Amino acid sequence: MKRIVVLGSTGSIGTQTLEVVREQEGLKVVGLAAGSNVSLMEKQIREFMPSFAVMWSEEAAKELKLKIADLDVKVLSGMEGLVEIASMEAYDVLVTAIVGMIGIRPTIAAIKAGKDIALANKETLVTAGHIIMPLAAEKGVSILPVDSEHSAIFQSMNGDAKERISRIWLTASGGPFRGKKTEEIRDMRVEDALKHPNWSMGRKITIDSATMVNKGLEVMEAKWLFDVSFDQIQVVVHPQSIVHSMVEYVDGAVIAQLGVPDMKLPIQYALFYPDRRPMEQEKLDFFKHSNLTFEKPDTETFEGLALAYEAGRTGGSMPTVYNAANEKAVSLFLNREIGFLDIPRMIKAAMGNHKLISNPDLEQILQTENETYDFIERMVSKEK
Ligand code: NAD
Ligand code: MG
């Protein structure tokens, strides 16, 4: 029996992880954590009977405690609670399906406790990859990708030596605004940006897909997961989202993983690796996909992607600035306080304003995050 803890259990990846638990034998949920959705958390607890549950706010935790007073489940709250369940003794794999940099501390705590990580929370690796990857190696724990592209790369590498890999082709759907030019996307509203053509995901990552910042974060995520240089990572727009990414070898062979767009496959693969389990799901019918197409990304219109390469190549604290500026700008956009193109504009301004720290420790990363949030807030209030 593999015992798992799911951080972000009420979200898109979290609920799909629990579907996998429902469908497959051999997984036991021992801890769940979420932000504020008390009613869904209660349902999940009654179904999966974990020993621990965490709600982000103390208020939500209190409410949850009352609702499940009849059960023997320990309820915790806040960052302390997240770190406590991530470090507890009695489990094997941490599923990080939380959104944003909030995932850094619990992920580090779990690695220190020797737990394998099924990683969906890319923001953690983007900002703290230089701490997490060496720590994971030292502790002998595996970081298993859940992000569909990275799972595809992982599957296509299949343990082959890094030296034999020449390039990664990271596929991108292009999002809802693919093919549009700057003037056409300037006035896009929240509703337009939330209409992803192929994937149903949380709100933040859906906006990130529309700006192509998601692909930028994924470039940095790939760099850390697979220890390749930025020159070896090529983004290719593939609107059908059937080829989930590809690995090119030194002899020119290209190995890809294909499938219908469904996050349950990468989640399941990460949880059972190196095993493959049968899965009830629509299978790929090549007769229905006679037109798989590939395009160069338009980094002029979708500047967020170009800025990610810049932040990644600069390294140090710059990826944190890129990520934190984006997190803040996306939440302002979702609150209708700024426009769509303000997102990359603000990332660029924050990066330009930042004084680089070349090898930031955890405190410096979190401080850079706060300084970046403040910078964006000041920028917005000045422009009002
Ligand atoms: P989501 O918004 O649907 O869910 C986020 C979850 O995190 C929710 O359960 C929420 O309650 C919880 N959460 C948020 N803030 C919290 C806090 N402070 N404390 C505790 N819990 C908190 O997001 P999602 O789409 O599931 O994405 C989760 C992560 O997975 C992101 O990093 C995203 O980039 C990545 N990812 C998602 C997909 C996808 O298909 N949804 C695909 C690849 C990668
Ligand atoms: Mg992805």
pLDDT digits (tens, 9 = 90+) for 243-266: 999 999 999 999 999 999 999 999
Using a 6 Å cutoff on CB, does residue 33 contact ligand 1?
yes
Measured over the CA atoms of residue 271, residue 97, residue 111 and residue 83, the dihedral's sign is: negative
Confidence of residue 198 (pLDDT cuts 50, 70, 90): confident
Q: For ligand 1, what atom is nearest to the CA of residue 13?
A: 26
For the chain, the average pLDDT equals: 97
The confidence score (pLDDT) of residue 269 equals 98
Q: Torsions phi, psi of 256, nearest 5? A: -125, 160
Using a 6 Å cutoff on CB, does residue 56 contact ligand 1?
yes
The Å distance, Cα 124 to ligand 2 centre, comes to 14
Q: Which ligand is nearest to the CA of 13?
A: 1
What distance in Å separates the CA atoms of residue 286 and residue 267, rounded to the nearest whole number?
23
The Å distance, Cα 108 to ligand 1 centre, comes to 18
203 pLDDT exceeds 90? Answer: yes
C-alpha pair distances (Å), 229 with each of 128, 223, 267, 379: 17, 6, 26, 33
Q: For ligand 1, what atom is nearest to the CA of residue 124?
A: 32
Q: Whose CA is nearest to atom 16 of ligand 1?
A: 35
Using a 6 Å cutoff on CB, does residue 122 contact ligand 1?
yes
The confidence score (pLDDT) of residue 384 equals 85
Q: What letters, b where the CB count within 10 A reaches 16 and e where it falls short, cover 242-267?
A: bbbbbbbbeeeeebbbebebebbbbb
196 pLDDT exceeds 90? Answer: no
199 pLDDT exceeds 90? Answer: no
CB count, 10 Å around CB of 160?
12
The confidence score (pLDDT) of residue 272 equals 98
197 pLDDT exceeds 90? Answer: no
The confidence score (pLDDT) of residue 262 equals 95
94 pLDDT exceeds 90? Answer: yes
pLDDT mean over 141-153: 98
Q: For ligand 1, what atom is nearest to the CA of residue 120?
A: 30
pLDDT mean over 316-333: 98
The confidence score (pLDDT) of residue 23 equals 97
| pTM of the full structure | 0.98
pLDDT mean over 18-22: 98
pLDDT in tens, 24-71: 999 999 999 999 999 999 999 999 999 999 999 999 999 999 999 999
The confidence score (pLDDT) of residue 53 equals 98
Q: What's at 259, amino acid-wise? A: G
In the chain, % helix, strand, coil (3-state, to 5) comes to 50, 15, 35
Using a 6 Å cutoff on CB, does residue 119 contact ligand 1?
no
Q: Describe the strand order of the beta sheet including 52-55 as a list of residue ranges.
A: 74-77, 52-55, 27-34, 2-7, 93-96, 116-119, 143-145
The Å distance, Cα 218 to ligand 2 centre, comes to 7
Using a 6 Å cutoff on CB, does residue 202 contact ligand 1?
yes
The Å distance, Cα 249 to ligand 2 centre, comes to 22
